Amino acid sequence: MSAAASPLCGDPGRWIERTLDRFVDHYVDADGLLITTLDSDGVILDPTPLIADFGDVLPFLAKFGRRDFVDHQIEAAEPHLASALFRNRGRIRLFDNHDWLLGLLELHELTGDRALLQRAQEGALTLIETMFVDDLLIDATIEWRDPRSWLQPASPFNGGYIELWLELHAKTGDARFLDASGRLAARWLRTDGFHRTGVFHRELCARSSAISRIAGLGATSSARLFKDNTNFVWSLLSLWDSTGDDRWKEAIGRWIAGFRAHFLNHGDVFLWLDRNGGGHEVSLKAAFASIDLLCDIHAAGLSTDALPCAVTIARRWSAHQWSSGLFPERPGGPRDHLDANVDMSISLLKLGGYTGLADFTDRARATARAVVARHDSPLGLVQAVDRDGRVRDPRIIVKYQGLALKLALAPDDPAALLADPALLKLLRDR
């Protein structure tokens, strides 16, 4: 059964159908496999198969009844896989496989197809067996032509696999996933960066903390909020929910204190920290991800500080919102960002539900409707427009076309969203 259109983005019936048709008619290569990017004339700019981002697209297409197309994409991905993992230009990268494996799990939940679950299980076990170094998951397999890979760096982003492993543990009962989750989380809590600042910094050498510190002396940034820290803390939430172990609850409390001290910036959230804990680059991506995560920490009952922090960010960014309803990529900046506006809309809708403040809900609706109205073009939603709706980046990034369908699934009423755990899970940003 196909999903019904939601009024969050107005009455987008024709937009939904056009979007679904574009995947089949315009976003595939000669073999019928989804590609990454095309220009406004339909010329493919990046022919890389979209496999790394299947989780951003295929679950939404399946939700809207395009199951045959989804099944073909999974089959067409097979030549690009090794041990159920996407091998991009000959290498296994953890960043390239997170949404691939998560997408398989989400498709399994939507369709009941156990072959998808088995493939996700195989790929996840391959990572556990091959990518741990000193209890950290390294970013990628070694490439001898890339000297940086010899150090085997590890990003906190990889901690997002904990959430995925715990979902696999719940579905399969395989204790290896639970064991690996605790092992990886405990190791990150012992890192020097977390001890110093309460937030998670990138480890430039997984094999040696001393070498990592030396390698980082010349780095301008060492901690990223969006994806790196947010995904890791969502994993800590999943660990606490799965085990009830107070270690994870205490780590979340420590992280919130670090977030307030280093990232919050009176609501103009920093995207990056340097090695001394100084923040830079105020970003919409950092803002929406923080609101979303803080809402989830609040919902779990783990902090009385989480929701006030989320409100501080939302109020600050309300002052940056353009009259069109869209948010600039950075305060005072000349352009917006398609996907960040989609997720800001969902985050504000959640916040409106938890606070009961209608202003946040109204702003969420305005953003959702502006995304569809201002970004639309003959071949899809363009990457960026300015405050007057003029196109600043005409590229059609295919994964963002799928993610924009969140606005067609989210209900207009925030209470309805909060009452639907399955939908909340589908709309999450990881």
Q: For 271-317, write each residue's pLDDT tens digit.
A: 999 988 899 999 999 999 999 999 999 999 999 999 999 999 999 99
Statement: residue 45 has pLDDT above 50:
yes
Mean pLDDT throughout 21-29? 96
Least confident segment among 2-6, 57-61, 383-387: 2-6
Give me the helix-helix angle, 306-318 and 284-299, nearest 10°.
150
Higher pLDDT, 151 or 73: 73
Report the candidate in 332, 308, 311, 312 with the shortest Cα–Cα distance to residue 320.
332
Statement: residue 390 has pLDDT above 50:
yes
How confident is the model at residue 211, as a pLDDT?
Answer: 63
Q: How many other CB atoms are there within 10 angstroms of residue 356's CB atom? A: 10
Statement: residue 394 has pLDDT above 80:
yes
Percent of the chain with pLDDT over 70: 94
In whole angstroms, give the CA distance from residue 403 to residue 407: 8
Percent of the chain with pLDDT over 90: 87
Residue 358: both structure tokens together: 């209608």
Least confident segment among 145-149, 154-158, 281-285, 396-400: 145-149
Give residue 391's pLDDT band: very low, low, confident or very high (50, 70, 90): very high
Mean pLDDT throughout 243-269? 97
Q: Is 8 helix (H, G, I), strand (E, B) or coil?
A: helix
219-233 per-position pLDDT tens digit: 656 899 999 999 999
In whole angstroms, give the CA distance from residue 27 to residue 35: 6
- Strands 376-377 and 279-282 turn out to be unpaired
Cα 287 to chain center, whole Å? 13
Secondary structure E strands in 89-198? 91-92, 132-133, 136-137
What is the maximum span of the chain, computed from C-alpha positions, in angstroms? 57
In whole angstroms, give the CA distance from residue 236 to residue 44: 39
How confident is the model at residue 250, as a pLDDT?
Answer: 98
How confident is the model at residue 221, as a pLDDT?
Answer: 65
- Please name every residue paired with 34 in a beta bridge, in sequence order, or none if there are none: 28
In whole angstroms, give the CA distance from residue 230 to residue 111: 28
In whole angstroms, give the CA distance from residue 265 to residue 394: 32
Statement: residue 243 has pLDDT above 50:
yes
CB 400 within 8 A of CB 383: yes
Q: Which long-range contacts (CB under 8 A, 24 or more apart) does 148-152 make?
A: 151/204, 151/205, 151/206, 151/207, 151/211, 151/212, 151/215, 152/205, 152/206, 152/207
Higher pLDDT, 145 or 64: 64
Mean pLDDT throughout 163-177? 97
Mean pLDDT throughout 165-193? 97
- Strands 132-133 and 223-224 turn out to be unpaired
3-state helix, strand and coil shares in percent for the chain, rounded to the nearest 5 = 60, 10, 30
- Please name every residue paired with 223 in a beta bridge, in sequence order, or none if there are none: 273
Mean pLDDT throughout 238-256? 97
